[in-house]
Amino acid sequence: MSARPDVPAELRRRVLVEAGHRCAIPTCRQIPVDVHHIREWSKVKRHDFDNLIALCPTCHRRCKDKDIDGLAVRQYKLNLGLLNSRYSEFERRILELYGRRVVDGTHTALITLPKHGDLFVLHLVQDGLLTDVGAFEYDHHIELRLTPHGLDYVRKLVGAEPVDIEAEPVAIELDEPQYPDDDFEDRLAGERQAVIDLCRWFFSRYEDPAQGVPYDGGEGSYQYTCGGPYDAEEVLRDAFGDTVSDADFDRATKIIANYSTDWVEIGLY
Ligand SMILES: [Zn+2]
């Protein structure tokens, strides 16, 4: 029986740092963690960085029981390396948060950051994984949401699939709402500023289901699988509560109703 030497302290430290001293399984991220051999020690008989990963006792057990297979663990390790080389810790935490949201189905939720907080998520935005849904003049914050590309990326992280690190950069229009038609600006002419802001805010976040929600001709209805349909007035009142008058809500809702009565979040079908 050959004695197994301890993992050298420096190597152990690198492995723990790589995973942020948390379990490397993206949907787990628990503490405490221990260093685990991806290919069993009895087969490799050595401690190599590439074969070591930080796991919590539960995931460690699941790996030993083959409940999480070795290939998946290897891919988690590779993804971890790519994420570390490309994104800040803050950005990785956002991906981690969305990893959990994807699992529990709340990935359409927005993230709110202080004004100029987009600097902290610059690379996620540049890679087209997150998008700023447009600042609103009355607030000193910005809101971001996962793009369809971001959703695909997070699903791959969670599912232990290779993430394509050369993510296709997406041209992001940070401030321009997606106007529903060319006459939109004309419609707003002469309206109160609060009404214009409400409409712009709305159209930077919501669009007509006809833009992409699957339509079932048999049932004669849209198939909403990613949330919705939303009612414009409810959305506006939820977001702005007491800060806007009833008259302005009514006016904005009327303008928006020229385009559709049901709405979905942009790009989420
Ligand atoms: Zn774990």
Domain regions of the chain by residue span: 1-86, 88-175, 184-265
Q: 88-97: long-range contacts (C-beta < 8 A, 24 or more apart)?
A: 88/120, 88/123, 89/20, 90/120, 90/121, 91/120, 91/121, 91/123, 91/124, 92/20, 94/121, 94/124, 94/130, 95/26, 95/124, 95/129, 95/153, 95/154, 95/157, 96/26, 96/29
Expressed in angstroms and rounded, the spacing between residue 30 Cα and the centre of ligand 1 is 5
Q: What is the CATH number of domain 88-175?
A: 1.10.10
Which residues sit with Cβ closer than 5 angstroms to ligand 1, an ion?
Answer: 23, 25, 28, 30, 56, 59
Residue ranges of the chain with per-residue pLDDT less than 50: 1, 167, 169-175
| pTM for the model | 0.60
Q: Among 230, 236, 239, 257, which Cα is nearest to 248's?
A: 236
Expressed in angstroms and rounded, the spacing between residue 168 Cα and the centre of ligand 1 is 31
pLDDT at 70: 86
Q: What is the pLDDT of residues 226-252, one digit of tens each?
A: 788 999 999 988 877 777 789 989 999
Q: 234-241: long-range contacts (C-beta < 8 A, 24 or more apart)?
A: 235/202, 235/205, 235/206, 235/263, 236/198, 236/201, 236/202, 239/201, 240/138, 240/198
pLDDT at 165: 58
